[in-house]
Amino acid sequence: MIGIVGLGRIGLILASAFLNKNFRVVGYDIDPERILENIYSGSVELHPEEIVREIIISSYNKKRFSIRSIDEISSEASDIYNIIVPVNWVGDKPDFESLKRASEAVGDVLSRGDLVIVESSVPPGTTRGLVAKILEKRSGLVAGRDFGLAYSPERVSIGRGFYDLTRNYPKIIAGIDNYSLEIVSLIYSEISEKGVLRASSLEVAEFEKLAEGIYRDVNIALANSLAEIARRIGLDFWEIRELANSQPYSHIHTPGVGVGGVCLPYYPKFLLWYLSSVGEGKCWCGELIALAREINTDQPRRVVDLVLEGSKIIGIEDLYRSKVCVLGLSYRGDIPDTRESPTYHISRELVSRGFSEIVIHDPFVARDDFLEKIGVSLTSDLRECLSNSKIIISATDHGVYKDLSTNHIKHLSGEKKILIIDGRNIIKYSSESDDSRKCLYGGIGKKWMWC
Amino acid sequence: MIGIVGLGRIGLILASAFLNKNFRVVGYDIDPERILENIYSGSVELHPEEIVREIIISSYNKKRFSIRSIDEISSEASDIYNIIVPVNWVGDKPDFESLKRASEAVGDVLSRGDLVIVESSVPPGTTRGLVAKILEKRSGLVAGRDFGLAYSPERVSIGRGFYDLTRNYPKIIAGIDNYSLEIVSLIYSEISEKGVLRASSLEVAEFEKLAEGIYRDVNIALANSLAEIARRIGLDFWEIRELANSQPYSHIHTPGVGVGGVCLPYYPKFLLWYLSSVGEGKCWCGELIALAREINTDQPRRVVDLVLEGSKIIGIEDLYRSKVCVLGLSYRGDIPDTRESPTYHISRELVSRGFSEIVIHDPFVARDDFLEKIGVSLTSDLRECLSNSKIIISATDHGVYKDLSTNHIKHLSGEKKILIIDGRNIIKYSSESDDSRKCLYGGIGKKWMWC
């Protein structure tokens, strides 16, 4: 029986992949009630991926999958423990609390011959330096002798995560010793069609996962840089990007209003934090990664700079009392996940500069505490958001915005002067029409155009 | 008849692509004798690509291809002129001299209805701001009215350039007006199987070409950074890279001893120079690109730092009198092109730190003025280079080095203490053998290992 510790989105994907291959699974979470409620109600809240919901619900009903509180973890239930809990970045360091708690719980029930697999994305050295030590201390056993310990990074993108895990990529695995590696290889060969790739050490596997994310973060920062250069010299970056990427060695990324989620914004910090912790914090080798992070962090502020620049060009009177409609709160299109979303930062920046009427539209998010706290409204009614807005900012590439044109926005706003900041290259530009309204269209990597 | 101005490697690829589709071509160069000699002798010096040599020689013999000095350019010969001359970076700015000279020569013979296509990689605005003005001044005609003007960046990699142009990628085109665009589209549709992609302006096409190179330069700098982080924490970056790139969204590049050639080192500077020239030199948007360039420029120095670090570990006595063998002078593997090669910088750095016996090996380069000047030897005899060398650095990934192992090097050197710095991940590491010799193996992105 496989025990999965942490039933977040990725934990449930992992559970469903094992269940799908006829493993029996028991899941542990700090809030089992929430998951059980979603199973009973069949709610989409259970998981964004339909296949995951189906497998989880049917397995639960067939009693092949059970859910317990992490405090009720017991040694009878499992011999393989899979730890997939969040490690976030809080303040100026990684927050290992969930990982520590999960390791303690597993350590308390660990038996000789068990295997523990860590899946969370962590700084190099965490499995050996933190998890192994807690497990050993709580169990009185020795990792690599009495029990197995492995690291295997999750590499899934929510929305297609089940297929990423089971079909799309090989699973990367590493063990504290050969025995651990052989067992984890056997297990993951069962669920991953592309098989496994063995890393030579736990740390190599921990590093490789961060490297994947850092590659993307740096390339988004490069795209943001090139987009701004193009904009400043009056060119459309989106056209340049498409042309450049017509040869197979060019993978210029998509610029945007910032980078959200708990992967890309955290991984560079995890690696640089680790580098510091081993006394190499001043190495030149961290500079590019740190600068890229800074560039991406500053993007929401630059979106608001664009608002001010455009307002001057079009001449919006009583600017700070103008209604601003921001399209999208999720950090990625068509998912209901707002963690570290740039829209929060755009909203805060707008508030701090004195804008008084800000409305966020999102079809996937019903309420939000942070926005409420800073006095920003949230609606799922697109017309309500656009109506009487003088400033419209696209911040998320939800599919629902793909039908919006500058003309639609003009009509739905009804205002005489309208400024559109397309942060995600998602609003269709319709050329200037001969009506009484003035409309200015700009955005990330875009020159100003009348609409 | 198509006139190609500039018969360098890329000019000859362009000529052969046109000749292959039964166009008649006349080529202009500042040194036609050199090319003619290579044609007569059938020398491999004519061009590194066999197909290009074949087409050029047979077309010349059939009198479908002729070669003249650029001073003998005449208006009868051509109605389409293709300018493909080098624009280099000299000191702190682009060197437009060749482009000016080519434009003047073409301008002097330009007739109404002719078309001029610029192919050189240039800062945005060069075709319109420099070439068009020279052509207009010398011809008395107006671009876009009396004659056509287009920009179409070369996108070929020497070694497979003929196929890059004719099969692998679409040709990007832009015209100063619609007429120019239509004509250049017709012409390139003939030679490019993947067809053409139209850019909305000359500047967009100029920018996209630089963007392709900048993407690579920044990604090499990222790879160099990650490689150094891995090395400092005792991990092998090459393994990490391979694992990370096992999913299709990760394209982490190859780290190395530096970036040579006249593309990648120049393009970031072209773009940043242009940004400055329009008063945007202080934009944050140039910082990442500039830092990446700096990182890549510093790599050769870091290779020498590794030499000193390794020498201390292994304890090489009389270090600065030890023979150093550097493998490879070309900036890329298996081509005879040394322009801006990192090996020059490594050599200079070694000399300036006091190393007195430096030998460079390259199978493709017979002599080199710069090396001679700074007192560094060059040989095509690998044994001669390795013999009695205490320090061995791999700097180019020539195929011939792929069979070298640390064991071979130990035997060929014969020295008692040998330090191997593998800058290109090309030398096979054989584990420590039980002989009397001490051998230390390290390199870019590698932890130190005894060999």
In this prediction the ipTM stands at 0.96
| A2 in Cβ contact with A23 (< 8 Å) | yes
pLDDT of residue B327: 98
CA distance B269 to chain A (A): 13
Q: Give the chain B residue nearest A123 (alpha carbons).
A: B233
CA A8 to chain CA centroid, Å, is 13
Would you say the C-alpha torsion A181, A186, A190, A196 has a positive or negative sign?
A: positive
B232:A197 CB<8 A: no
CA distance A283 to chain B (A): 8
Best of A173, A263, A282, A285 to disrupt the B interface (most B CBs within 10 Å) is A285
Rg (CA), chain A: 24
**B1-22 residue pLDDT tens:** 999 999 999 999 999 999 999 9
CA distance A250 to chain B (A): 6
Q: Give the chain A residue nearest B165 (alpha carbons).
A: A247
Residues of A whose CB is below 8 A from B214: 222, 226
Q: Residue B146: which H helix or E strand, with range?
A: none
A124:B295 CB<8 A: no
Cα diameter, chain A: 79
pLDDT of residue A219: 98
CA B15, CA B55: separation in Å to the nearest integer?
A: 9
pLDDT of residue B336: 87
CA A278, CA A200: separation in Å to the nearest integer?
A: 21
Residues of B whose CB is below 8 A from A209: 244
CA distance A447 to chain B (A): 12
Residues of A whose CB is below 8 A from B235: 124, 201, 203-204, 207
How far from A147 is each of A73, A106, A153, A171, A187, CA to CA, in Å? 18, 12, 20, 22, 16
A214:B205 CB<8 A: no
Q: What is the 3-state secondary structure (H, E, C) of B80-134?
A: EEEECCCCEEECCEEECHHHHHHHHHHHHHCCCCCEEEECCCCCCCHHHHHHHHH
β-pair partners for B442: B421
**Amino acid in the structure at residue B27:** G
| A115 in Cβ contact with A79 (< 8 Å) | yes
| A419 in Cβ contact with A310 (< 8 Å) | yes
Q: Which burial class, exposed, middle or buried, applies to A129 when counting CB atoms under 10 A from its CB (0-12, 13-18, 19+)?
A: middle
Of the partner residues B200, B201, B240, the one whose CB lies closest to the CB of residue A204: B240
CA B172, CA A244: separation in Å to the nearest integer?
A: 9
Q: Residue B232: which H helix or E strand, with range?
A: helix B202-232
Of the partner residues B155, B252, B292, the one whose CB lies closest to the CB of residue A211: B252
Residues of B whose CB is below 8 A from A299: none
Of the partner residues B172, B221, B240, the one whose CB lies closest to the CB of residue A208: B240
**Amino acid in the structure at residue A229:** I
CA distance A222 to chain B (A): 7
Question: Look-up: residue for tokens 């259970």?
Answer: A46
What are the residues whose beta carbons fall under 8 Å from the beta carbon of A393, sequence distance 6 or more? A257, A303, A307, A324, A325, A326, A327, A346, A420, A421, A423
Average pLDDT for consecutive 10-residue bins of chain B (451 residues)?
A: 96 98 96 95 92 97 96 84 97 97 97 97 98 98 98 94 96 97 97 97 98 98 98 97 96 97 94 96 97 98 98 95 97 91 97 97 95 97 98 97 95 95 96 82 97 93
CB-CB neighbours of A194 under 10 Å: 15
Of the partner residues B229, B243, B271, the one whose CB lies closest to the CB of residue A199: B243
B211:A244 CB<8 A: yes
Average pLDDT for consecutive 10-residue bins of chain A (451 residues)?
A: 96 98 96 95 92 97 96 86 97 97 97 97 98 98 98 94 96 97 97 97 98 98 98 97 96 97 94 96 97 98 98 95 97 91 97 97 95 97 98 97 95 96 96 82 97 93
Residues of A whose CB is below 8 A from B168: 247-248
How far from A15 is each of A86, A178, A194, CA to CA, in Å? 16, 25, 18
CA A87 to chain CA centroid, Å, is 13
Please tell me which residue in B137, B194, B263, B417 is annotated as part of the active site.
B263
What are the residues whose beta carbons fall under 8 Å from the beta carbon of A283, sequence distance 6 or more? A275, B228, B229, B232
CA B250, CA A62: separation in Å to the nearest integer?
A: 39
Of the partner residues A234, A248, A278, the one whose CB lies closest to the CB of residue B233: A278
Specify the 3-state DSSP secondary structure of A22: coil
β-pair partners for A325: A359, A392
A285:B199 CB<8 A: no
CA A309, CA A43: separation in Å to the nearest integer?
A: 44
Phi, psi of A83 (to 5 degrees): -95, 115
**Amino acid in the structure at residue B196:** V
